[in-house]
RNA sequence: GUGGCUAUAGCUCAGCAUGGCAGAGCACCAGAUUGUGGAUCUGGCUGUCGCGGGUUCAAAUCCCGCUAGCCACCCCA
């Protein structure tokens, strides 16, 4: 009865295959290069965190409320696969005593994140993010710095043609008063809003600004804007960030409707999109300031600002925009030996390997077929080995480009191939 | 989480409205070429028709359920 079905990757998970790995490497290397140039160090934190850490930090957001991979281990501990990096990085910042070093701690991380949502192209249940965080500093210059890192990285991997939206959502001091204004504005309109928005009106009115349902759009224009109601400190920071971005030559668009799903964000919020597209599906990255996060985790109040970008989408776009990628390095030499000469072939390969990359074709097929493989793999050289030649410790060395072929002693191969 | 489309050879897909021998191209293997690649030609191998059930003399084809992928929402990255 259990007729078998070959095993496949679980829903929402995917493999990065060798042919695509090159472009990922380019993106990752560029990220590490740019980050280091700005004085950011790499950190690696666990994929598994205490469920409480994740939940405390974003109970109201979909990412946590509906999309969290949550489970218990054999010891009954309540755990979760991280849906984003910031919570873990901030935790590590305190646990690793980075708060005792000169501030801010400048950190970056590349790794997998997990969200249980419906898979689609560019949206996977396991996806990879580049995460950049400056923790322990409240200067708006750090906001601009993080944005500049993001913009520099995207430009260097060929995705410079993008749009950045920018907004400020105030802080604990000025936001409550603003939210009251917003509620007061929307209450008379409540009946005309769609269901979710009616509910959000009292619980999380900021999200009304972010709503994309057509029937809710007309009311946004006249809604009060938070940037008009910032407290003194937030207003100063808002001005400073924009001035710094101008000086850095980074273009942005003030989007008064840009808010962030996560509760701990304060002041600066930003998102990057490809210039020609809209659709939230295409968001390449985003971030903002999270001065309330450390406290939410039970650590001393500590400001921070960060940026995250999805590598799955970024590499997808790099392919579309035809970014130059170095072809995957294949074996430059392929050893083709007759049947039964595996030991000799392996030894010849070992000798060649002191000078160059080598693979052996052990397949039991005709020489013609092996030559076709060598050609398809793009090998520069082929070493042909027959029993009589193996006995004399010589082989035929063929240059695939010129077609020239000559007998060469095994021990002379490295010199000829170098 | 909601709605829609899709699933046939290793890959891309045709066949399905009207049930009746499981197909093409590519890839792979072999030969033309008396051990030597690319081009060309010839031949050959490859299938639980996604999974499970139902209808029927008969199901890739019709019906139901499930799973997975894609698209639009939702949300984000």
Residue appearing with tokens 């689609």: A120
Find the Å distance, CA of residue A111 to C1' of nucleotide B29. Answer: 42
Nucleic strand B near CB of residue A375 (< 7 Å): yes
Nucleic strand B near CB of residue A310 (< 7 Å): yes
Find the Å distance, CA of residue A4 to C1' of nucleotide B63. Answer: 26
Q: Of A286, A320, A354, which residue constitutes the final position of a domain?
A: A320
Per-position pLDDT tens, chain A of length 418? 234 567 778 899 988 888 888 889 999 999 999 999 999 999 999 999 999 999 887 666 676 778 899 999 999 999 999 999 999 999 999 999 999 999 999 999 999 999 999 998 888 999 999 999 999 999 999 999 999 999 999 999 988 888 899 999 999 888 889 989 988 998 888 888 877 777 778 777 888 888 777 777 888 888 899 999 999 999 999 999 999 999 999 999 999 988 875 667 899 999 998 886 655 567 899 999 999 899 989 999 999 999 999 999 999 888 877 655 545 446 889 999 988 899 999 999 999 999 999 999 988 888 999 999 999 888 999 999 999 999 999 999 999 999 999 999 999 999 999 8
Q: Alpha-carbon dihedral of residues A159, A160, A161, A166, nearest 10 degrees?
A: 110
Nucleic strand B near CB of residue A115 (< 7 Å): yes
Residues A291, A303 contacting (CB under 8 angstroms): yes
Token pair listed for A199: 């509910």
* CATH at A412: 3.40.50.800
Distance of CA A276 to CAs A52, A141, A159, A160, A161, Å? Answer: 40, 29, 12, 12, 8
Q: What is the interface pTM, i.e. ipTM, of the complex?
A: 0.81
Nucleotide nearest to A379 (CA to C1'): B37
Same domain, A369 and A266: no
Nucleic strand B near CB of residue A6 (< 7 Å): yes
Nucleic strand B near CB of residue A384 (< 7 Å): yes
- Please indicate, yes or no, if residue A10 is contained in any of the structural domains: no
**Nearby residues of A370 by Cβ (< 8 Å), 6 or more positions away:** A334, A336, A361, A363
Provide residues 194-213 of A with CB closer than 7 Å to any strand B atom: 196, 207, 210-213
Same domain, A258 and A387: no
Q: Of A320, A348, A368, which residue constitutes the final position of a domain?
A: A320
- Please indicate, yes or no, if residue A214 is contained in any of the structural domains: no
Token pair listed for A88: 């873990």
Find the Å distance, CA of residue A5 to C1' of nucleotide B7. Answer: 15
* CATH at A95: 3.30.930.10
Residues A395, A410 contacting (CB under 8 angstroms): yes
- Please indicate, yes or no, if residue A224 is contained in any of the structural domains: no
Cα radius of gyration (chain A): 28
Find the Å distance, CA of residue A53 to C1' of nucleotide B17. Answer: 56
């Amino acid at each position: 009865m259990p007729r078998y079905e070959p095993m496949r990757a679980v829903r929402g998970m995917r493999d990065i295959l060798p042919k695509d790995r090159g472009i990922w490497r380019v993106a990752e290397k560029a990220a590490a290069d740019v980050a280091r140039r700005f004085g950011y160090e790499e950190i690696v934190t666990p994929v598994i965190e205490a469920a409480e850490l994740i939940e405390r930090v974003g109970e109201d957001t979909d990412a946590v409320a509906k999309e969290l991979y949550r489970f218990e281990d054999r010891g009954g501990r309540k755990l979760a696969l991280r849906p984003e990096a910031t919570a873990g990085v901030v935790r590590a910042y305190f646990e690793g005593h980075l708060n005792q070093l000169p501030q801010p701690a400048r950190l970056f991380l590349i790794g997998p994140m997990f969200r249980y949502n419906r898979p689609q192209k560019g949206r996977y249940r396991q996806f990879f993010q580049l995460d950049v965080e400056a923790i322990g500093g409240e200067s708006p210059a750090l906001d601009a710095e993080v944005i500049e890192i993001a913009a520099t990285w995207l430009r260097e991997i060929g995705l410079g043609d993008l749009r950045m939206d920018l907004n400020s959502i105030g802080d604990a001091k000025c936001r409550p008063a603003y939210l009251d204004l917003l509620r007061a504005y929307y209450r008379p309109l409540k009946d005309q809003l769609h269901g979710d928005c009616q509910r959000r009106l009292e619980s999380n009115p900021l999200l009304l600004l972010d709503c994309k349902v057509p029937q809710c759009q007309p009311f946004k224009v006249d809604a009060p804007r938070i940037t008009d109601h910032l407290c003194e400190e937030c207003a100063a920071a808002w001005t400073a960030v924009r001035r710094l971005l101008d000086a850095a030559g980074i273009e942005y668009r003030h989007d008064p409707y840009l808010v962030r799903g996560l509760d701990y964000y304060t002041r600066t919020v930003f998102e990057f999109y490809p210039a020609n597209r809209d659709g939230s599906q295409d968001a390449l990255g985003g971030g903002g300031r999270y001065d309330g996060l450390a406290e939410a985790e039970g650590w001393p109040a500590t400001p921070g600002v960060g940026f995250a970008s999805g590598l799955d989408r970024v590499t997808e776009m790099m392919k579309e925009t035809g970014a130059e990628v170095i072809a995957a390095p294949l074996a430059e030499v392929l050893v083709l030996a007759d049947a039964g000469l595996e030991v000799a072939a392996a030894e010849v390969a070992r000798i060649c390997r002191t000078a160059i990359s080598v693979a052996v074709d052990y397949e039991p097929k005709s020489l013609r077929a092996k030559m076709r493989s060598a050609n398809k793999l793009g090998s520069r050289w082929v070493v042909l080995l027959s029993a009589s030649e193996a006995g004399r410790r010589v082989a035929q060395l063929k240059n695939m480009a010129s077609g020239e072929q000559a007998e060469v002693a095994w021990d002379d191969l490295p010199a000829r191939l170098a």
